[in-house]
Amino acid sequence: MKQPDEQDRVLVSPRHLAGRGDRLSDVLGPLIHLFEWKHNHRPASGRVTVESPDGSTFVDFTPSGFDEPWWTIRHHEPYWKITAGRQTPLEALAAVTQALPQLLSDACHREQIPLASRSVTEIASVNSWTTEGTSITSADGHCTLHHRPDTEQPWLVESSVYDGFDTHWFASFEGDVPDALVRQFLAHLASTEPVERTLADVPYLSRYSARITPMHGSALGPHIVHALAALPSQPNPQRSR
């Protein structure tokens, strides 16, 4: 199979190694177009802000430095805030923002936007993440969800590939953040289903640890090839004789 070029579409797993992706519309679009939240776009800076109809909840996307928050989701009363860094996978963030209207008692489109029903530990277990004490870690050890109850920051997600350049990202959950949003985030982060990216979107150092399959070039289809690549290799019976 031909090796993909930088602009080729690929499937990537695990998701925490895939980089942020390019589906910004999945994070903000439903709030604006389906739920009619007010929004403001500043083309010069790329900043986009979205506000709930009742003025209680805000989503702020501000492209900035590598180590600074790019995303802020906050609620006034009770106070809580979620911040996330540049390479945070957009699938996990979209799962959070799309759930916001339901938490504000807007039941429209709830059938199209299901909420995660399992607990955090159950989500981790079914996706082969391991729990040790108050931390939950991905199977490859590169991503960890820290739970620190009774603190101002009860949940923190950190991910990096040996602290390599442009592989580090974080998501911080502060104040009285609803557990439903933590479950949404983890369910769409820890999922074993691959996500689609251009190869250029995948941080360079992450490519050595991630499983990457070209979207084109195989008669079996990319999802089948990607799934087969996860299977353990079998010994050659001819060589075992």
Instruction: Supply the pLDDT for residue 208.
Output: 94
Under 8 Å between Cβ of 55 and 145? no
Which is more confident, 42 or 222?
42
Q: Give the strands of the sheet with 47-51, arranged side by side.
A: 38-42, 47-51, 57-61, 71-75, 80-84, 169-175, 155-159, 143-147, 135-137, 130-132
For the record, the structure tokens of 173 come out as 């959950």
Under 8 Å between Cβ of 38 and 50? yes
Under 8 Å between Cβ of 26 and 209? no
Whether the per-residue pLDDT at 209 is higher than 70: the answer is yes
Question: With 0-12 CB in 10 A as exposed, 13-18 as middle and 19+ as buried, what is 60?
Answer: middle
Q: Which one, of 100, 98, 65, lies nearest residue 80 by Cα? A: 100
Q: What is the pTM of this model?
A: 0.89
Q: Dmax over Cα atoms in the chain, in whole Å?
A: 73
| Alpha-helical runs (H) found in 104-178 | 120-126
What is the domain partition of the chain in residue ranges? 20-193
Instruction: Supply the pLDDT for residue 215.
Output: 83
Give the pLDDT band of residue 1 (cuts 50, 70, 90): low
pLDDT for 115-154, tens place per residue?
999 999 999 999 999 999 999 999 999 999 999 999 999 9
Whether the per-residue pLDDT at 223 is higher than 80: the answer is no
Per cent of the chain over pLDDT 90 is 79
Instruction: Supply the pLDDT for residue 35.
Output: 95
Instruction: Supply the pLDDT for residue 241.
Output: 33
User: Residue 154 and residue 161: Cα distance in Å, rounded?
Assistant: 24
Instruction: Supply the pLDDT for residue 184.
Output: 98
Whether the per-residue pLDDT at 220 is higher than 50: the answer is no
Give the pLDDT band of residue 111 (cuts 50, 70, 90): confident
Terminal alpha carbon distance of the chain:
30
Per cent of the chain over pLDDT 70 is 89
Residues in the chain: 241
